[in-house]
Amino acid sequence: FRHPPASAEVAKLLNSLAVFPERAHIVGAYSLGKAQRVMALLREAGHTAPIHIHGALAGITAYYAAQGIAVGEVLPATAARKADLAGAVVIAPPSAITDVWSRRFPDPVTAFASGWMRVRARARQRGIELPLIISDHADWDGLIASITATGCEEVWVTHGAEDALVHWAGTAGLRARPLHMVGYGEEDAEEGEAGEEAAP
69 falls within a domain: yes
How many structural domains compose the chain?
2
Predicted pLDDT of residue 66: 96
172 falls within a domain: yes
**Which residues does residue 111 pair with via DSSP β-bridges, in sequence order?**
27, 130
Predicted pLDDT of residue 102: 84
Instruction: Tell me the mean pLDDT in the region 93-107.
Output: 85
Report the 10 Å Cβ neighbour count for 186. 14
Note every long-range contact of 174-183, with CB atoms under 8 Å and residues 24 or more positions apart, other chains counting.
174/147
DSSP per residue, 60-122: HHHHHHHTT-----EEEGGGS-GGGGTT-EEEE-GGGGGSGGGGGSSSPEEEEESGGGGSHHH
Q: Do residue 148 and residue 60 come from a single domain?
A: no
What's the chain's average pLDDT? 86
Predicted pLDDT of residue 198: 44
pTM reported for the whole predicted model? 0.79
Q: Do residue 22 and residue 103 come from a single domain?
A: yes
CATH code where residue 18 lies: 3.40.50
Q: Do residue 38 and residue 71 come from a single domain?
A: yes
Nearest to 26 by CA among 83, 106, 81, 126: 106
Nearest to 85 by CA among 59, 54, 63: 54
146 falls within a domain: yes
188 falls within a domain: no
Q: Do residue 33 and residue 114 come from a single domain?
A: yes
pLDDT digits (tens, 9 = 90+) for 117-156: 776 777 777 888 888 888 888 888 889 999 999 999 999 9
Q: Do residue 22 and residue 74 come from a single domain?
A: yes
Q: Do residue 102 and residue 167 come from a single domain?
A: no
Do residues 156 and 179 lie in contact, with contact meaning Cβ atoms separated by under 8 Å?
yes
Predicted pLDDT of residue 184: 55
* Structural domain boundaries, residue 90: 6-132
pLDDT tops 60 at residue 180: yes
Q: What percent of the chain has pLDDT over 70?
A: 89
pLDDT digits (tens, 9 = 90+) for 16-30: 999 999 999 999 999
pLDDT tier for residue 34 given thresholds of 50, 70 and 90: very high
CA distances from 22 to 82, 106, 111, 186 (A): 11, 8, 16, 37
Q: Do residue 151 and residue 112 come from a single domain?
A: no
Q: Do residue 87 and residue 144 come from a single domain?
A: no
**Which residues does residue 74 pair with via DSSP β-bridges, in sequence order?**
51
pLDDT digits (tens, 9 = 90+) for 70-97: 999 999 999 888 888 999 999 999 989 8
